[in-house]
Amino acid sequence: MYATDENLDKLTRCYETERWDEGLCLSQSLLKQFPHDGRVWELSGLLFRELTSFKLAQSALETATTLIPLSDRAQLALADCYLHFDQRQLAEEMFQFLHEKENTSPQLRAAVRSRLQKLSDRAHQREYQDQAEVPRPQLTAEHHYNLAHSMGFLGYPPECVEQEILRAIELAPDCLEYRIGLAGFLSQIHRAEEGYQYVASLSLREISRLECECCLERLVKVFHAGGDHRRLLACMDRVEEVKRAQRKRKCVNNDEE
């Protein structure tokens, strides 16, 4: 199965209008539904490239190459990734190919020419490597949190995922979602006791407002590991409330049908 043209157009618009957070969430959702759609992998790689997350970009774009021929702009993004990781010969070959290719858009040709010029000028080579050609955007806490989700989906090491969530928490220390997310993630990798520090101050009222059953079940493990029986019981009670609400909604939907 493949993503609809409507979904692809929406993801493309997110990329072209720099709506990074929306694009990351949509690409992750589409990849879960359509893991063999090279077009989604390509657009995901382009999003990661713009966010200068070169590891994710390279992984996504290389996956796309196994499924579809890459577009010119995706080839340029992949070459940028290779250059970033000091695979200069491979990057230069790709830049040269794009430069000599017929029907390349003027804008892309100019970008390729700029890269080739910098590569040929030894005085600028180190500067190019450090600055990666395109100015790095200022990533928000939500960017880092969404990147963490994408890293987890793509199978990156847990420490990489953890660092992205920690960065999100550093930028937005009052965001409950990020702290719960990190605690839950640590519980998944058998570090629930460590995760407790991030949710130890969670109030009973805040627990009563949580709607995600999976998050609550992970918090049960975290509070159990931390020996926090009051919050443990509150989470268990909330899990049952959420399940009852889900069953009720299901019954209503069945009656309507």
pLDDT, tens digit (0-9, with 9 covering 90-100), for 138-166 = 678 888 888 888 778 777 788 888 988 99
- Which domain-ending residue is among 131, 159, 183? 131
Using CB atoms within 10 Å of the CB of residue 40, give its burial: 0 to 12 exposed, 13 to 18 middle, 19+ buried: buried
Q: Are residues 9 and 121 in the same domain?
A: yes
Cut 0.95: pTM above it:
no
The answer to whether position 149 is within a domain reads no
101-124: average pLDDT: 82
Q: Are residues 112 and 185 in the same domain?
A: no
State phi, psi for 117 to the nearest 5 degrees: -65, -40
Q: What is the mean pLDDT of the chain?
A: 87
Same structural domain, 9 and 127: yes
Of 206 and 151, more confident: 206
Range 3-8 average pLDDT: 93
| 3-state class (DSSP) for residue 104 | coil
> Are 18 and 126 in the same domain?
yes
Stretch 199-221: mean pLDDT: 92
> How many domains, the chain?
2
57 is in which domain, residue-wise?
A: 5-131
Q: Is residue 143 part of a domain?
A: no
CATH number at 66 reads 1.25.40.10
| Mean pLDDT along residues 92-109 | 88
pLDDT at 257 over 90: no
Residue 153 lies in a domain: no
In a domain, 181, yes or no: yes
Residue 3 tokens, joined: 């993503």
| 163 within domain boundaries | no
63-87 average pLDDT score: 91
Domain boundary among 131, 147, 162: 131
* Phi-psi label, residue 132: left if phi above 0, alpha if psi -120 to 50, beta otherwise: left
**Cβ proximity of 171 and 163 under 8 Å:** no
Is 67 inside a domain boundary?
A: yes
Is residue 187 located within the same domain as residue 116? no
pLDDT at 123: 45
Is it the case that residue 133 has pLDDT exceeding 90? no
Domain annotation covers residue 159: no
CA neighbor of 56 nearest in space, from 92, 31, 90, 22: 31
User: Which one of 105, 131, 157 terminates a domain?
Assistant: 131
Asked if residue 178 and residue 241 are part of one domain, the reply reads yes
